[in-house]
Chain A
Amino acid sequence: MNLGSSNSLAIETEDLTKAFGGRNVVDSLSLHVPAGSIYGFLGPNGSGKTTTIRMILGLVFPDRGTVTLLAAKDPKERRARLSRVGMLVEGPAFYPYLSGYDNLKRFSQIALPAQRHLDHSLSKVSKSAIESALERVGLLEAAGKKYRAYSLGMKQRLSIAAALLWPRELLVLDEPTNGLDPQGIVEVRELMTTLQKQGMTIFVSSHILSEVEIICSNIAVMREGKLLFEGSTQSFRGSLGERFELETADVGLAESILSGLGLVEPGSLVIGHDRITAKLTTEDIARVVAALVKGGVGVRAVGKTSHSLEEAFVNMTGRSSSAR
């Protein structure tokens, strides 16, 4: 039942549509999540990300269209596959009157009998498995504390621990960085990269591009229930017109060399007193730097201006609301 070939899909949706109150929250959505990828599912709040995730997981029934999850299309088979999917949907949810440990225990108690029935390869989740999941997210010391006394960051970590209780093929993480401090965001990103290297597919949604863009191999962008973009992260950056920033003492010479190369759209060049920003593709930047060095311009630094990338993303996804 493993996903054999490398080009297979962990999740595929076709023409997925769901209306709430007469409005299409998700509209003819076709997603293709390659197995083994970190797939960034982006869009502003209310763009239909969570409803899509709920349909993928069988919580919400689509009005139209199909979901294929780990090669299973039939709803009953798909539910059986869920034992191999770890998830965080719309924030953590646990019993406030139970401790962190007891919550995970309840979760494994209730999940495992159902899974044994569906999938005989799963064994019992032991005390040590619960403890090691708690340790992995840094909650072992707070394991005996009641969930209601947890901070938002701790709650978020507990739900990640729940997703790591037993081995999974796919993680579906809905806004996993919500409520985390910058340190926590970095930790979650590192965890995702580690898990992906272990062979997991990671489907992660976010409304903040920069929080996940660095680690994603694939990106999809939603707006008002419709798919605006799906493809590799690189082509996504290209489509947004990613900008590069060059820092140099000789702005004038650099400008003339850049213009001479003909790689830069004339209007996209912005000259500062010690830096130039320009719209360039990742492939072209190497050629630009080589030409500058050859022409005797001392290049102090080259970098992407992620701030403008975020702005371009906001423009892309927020366009229609400003038009209203």
Chain B
Amino acid sequence: MLGSELSLLFKRRRTKVLMALLFLAPWLMGFVIFQFGGGRGGNGPSFVDLVTHNAVFLVLASVSSLMPLLLPLAVSLVAADSIAGEASLGTLRYLLVAPVSRMRILVGKLLVSLSFVVLICLGVAASALVAGMVFFPTGRVVLLSGQTTSFLHGIALAFVATVLIAMSLVSVAGIGLAISTFTDIPVGATLGTLGIIIFSEILSNISQVRGIWPMLPTNYWLSYADIFRFPIRLGAIGKDFVSQAVWLAFAFTLASARFISKDVTS
């Protein structure tokens, strides 16, 4: 099932274009910084100002700039297509009468979205690392806490940070799947998912609602930067892990409750 789902995803031109654009982004960013210099980034761990010092930081600069919008967009395009896409094509009824159980379809689709998350994160990181090595120096890496470490160790840290970013996107995949069981229109499900993520990001910038921050799926999205400190601080990363797990569990429960009893009329 998973193999067939993955090949279905990657045979689609839309997926190829999406991935090509994502993988091209680090090259664009690297080239611009190479030409015009890093300058000072805004607030938060933008890493942009560090890129000219070391190739490793292009990985972080790329993923952190894609994080707020483009990565969630890519994930919600795929996740929201899970059920709504099959429903709009009408293929959902043929899957069900094949017969494939509804639970199996949900789990299969979720696994595809999660694989896609991991793949695009690692793909962007790998592409950024190569671009970084083309444009920038590759010496010892200066950590955010001031110490230095070897280039290889820096790459390993960037890899771990990428995995943590993929983990942060798990909630997007879950929410996309859940919304996708409520509509037959894939675009609607994508926009709904993206809307929730953007809304969550907006709320996490309004201090008056500080009380609900820990409940937001995007609240700990910047925790991966803590990997570049020594000693590594795991507090926020741990909280992100719990937050993502809870959101995924909630979304999947909602999706299955809805889908198991849904009249398929598409």
Contact = CB atoms under 8 A, between A and B. Distances in A.
B1 interface: yes
B83 to A, nearest CB: 13
A109 B3 contact: yes
A68 to B, nearest CB: 16
B104 A114 contact: yes
Contacts of A92: 90
A91 B90 contact: yes
B15 to A, nearest CB: 10
A83 B98 CA distance: 6
A32 interface: no
Given A93-B90, A110-B4, A114-B104, A58 B96 contact: yes
B97 to A, nearest CB: 5
Contacts of B94: 89, 93, 107, 162
Interface string A45-57: 0000001001001
A83 B3 CA distance: 21
Contacts of B11: 97-98, 102
B253 interface: no
Interface in B235-265: 261, 263-265
A59 B12 contact: no
Interface string A240-257: 000000000000000000
B99 A59 contact: no
B47 to A, nearest CB: 37
B11 to A, nearest CB: 6
B32 interface: no
B265 A54 contact: yes
A202 interface: no
A79 interface: yes
B115 interface: no
Given A59-B264, A85-B97, A115-B99, A93 B4 contact: no
The listed residue with most B CB atoms (<10 A of its CB), out of A91, A92, A93, A111, is: A93
A106 B8 contact: yes
B100 interface: yes
B140 interface: no
B93 A59 contact: yes
Interface of A: 51, 54, 57-61, 79-80, 82-83, 85, 87, 89-98, 102, 106-107, 109-111, 113-115, 118, 162
Interface of B: 1, 3-4, 7-8, 11-13, 89-91, 93-101, 104, 261, 263-265
9 contacts: A59-B96, A59-B263, A82-B97, A90-B93, A91-B90, A93-B90, A106-B7, A110-B98, A111-B100
In the complex, the 7 A-B pairs of residues with the closest C-beta atoms, listed nearest first: A93-B90, A111-B98, A82-B99, A59-B264, A109-B4, A60-B263, A114-B100
